[in-house]
């Protein structure tokens, strides 16, 4: 038996000015997208903005449904739309922000497990890490790849 460790590194910013222009723009686009959320059941409005390899930014929000599991998180709405519209492009980075009652959540909102699994496959398609920028009102955190969020992703379908 061997004990093994996985180190997960993330960057934390308490000051938005330290981010690059591109990261700030993506966070702004995510916050804008959160305004289009359809979330009458949770009142939790999430926006996700993706930067693609062709320079396009695709942003989307969570869409809920009276049959609760039929709704979809902002991240998956954005990722699936991006792949449907630009199947040949890779996702380079993604910003996520969440709002309640029109105010940014104070702490970062990380993608749920199902979204991490989907992002993990997008990253595999891209062949390079997807940067994830998680924006809270007071704290912004960045991880440089999905493996930091989902170290043991499932990808055994063809094995």
Q: How many residues does the chain have?
A: 159
What is the closest distance, in whole angstroms, from the C-beta atom of residue 47 to ligand THU in the complex?
Answer: 8
Active site residue 56: no
- With beta carbons less than 8 A apart as the criterion, state whether 99 and 31 touch: yes
Q: Which of residues 59-78 bind ligand THU (CB under 6 A)?
A: 62, 64, 71, 73-75
Task: Show the CA angle centred on residue 84, arms to residues 83 and 88, nearest 5°.
Answer: 55
Task: Show the CA angle centred on residue 127, arms to residues 146 and 158, nearest 5°.
Answer: 85
Considering the rule CB under 6 A, would residue 132 count as an interface residue with ligand THU?
Answer: no
Closer residue to ligand THU (CB): 73 or 140: 73
Catalytic residue (one of 23, 64, 75, 89): 75
Phi, psi (5° rounding) for residue 113? -60, -45
Residues that bind ligand THU (CB under 6 A): 39, 42, 44, 46, 62, 64, 71, 73-75, 109, 111-112, 115
């Amino acid at each position: 038996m061997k004990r093994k460790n996985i180190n997960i590194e993330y960057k934390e910013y308490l000051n938005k000015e330290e981010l690059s222009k591109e990261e700030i723009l993506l966070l702004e686009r995510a916050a804008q997208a959160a305004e289009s959320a359809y979330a009458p059941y949770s009142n939790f409005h999430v926006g996700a903005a993706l930067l693609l390899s062709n320079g396009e930014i695709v942003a989307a929000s969570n869409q809920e449904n009276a049959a609760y599991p039929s709704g979809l998180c902002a991240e998956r709405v954005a990722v699936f739309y991006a792949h449907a519209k630009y199947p040949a492009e890779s996702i380079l980075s993604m910003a996520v922000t969440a709002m309640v009652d029109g105010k940014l959540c104070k702490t970062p909102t990380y993608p749920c497990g199902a979204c991490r699994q989907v992002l993990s496959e997008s990253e595999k398609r891209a062949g390079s890490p997807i940067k994830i920028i998680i924006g809270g009102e007071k704290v912004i955190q960045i991880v440089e790849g999905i493996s930091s969020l989902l170290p043991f992703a499932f990808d055994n379908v063809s094995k």
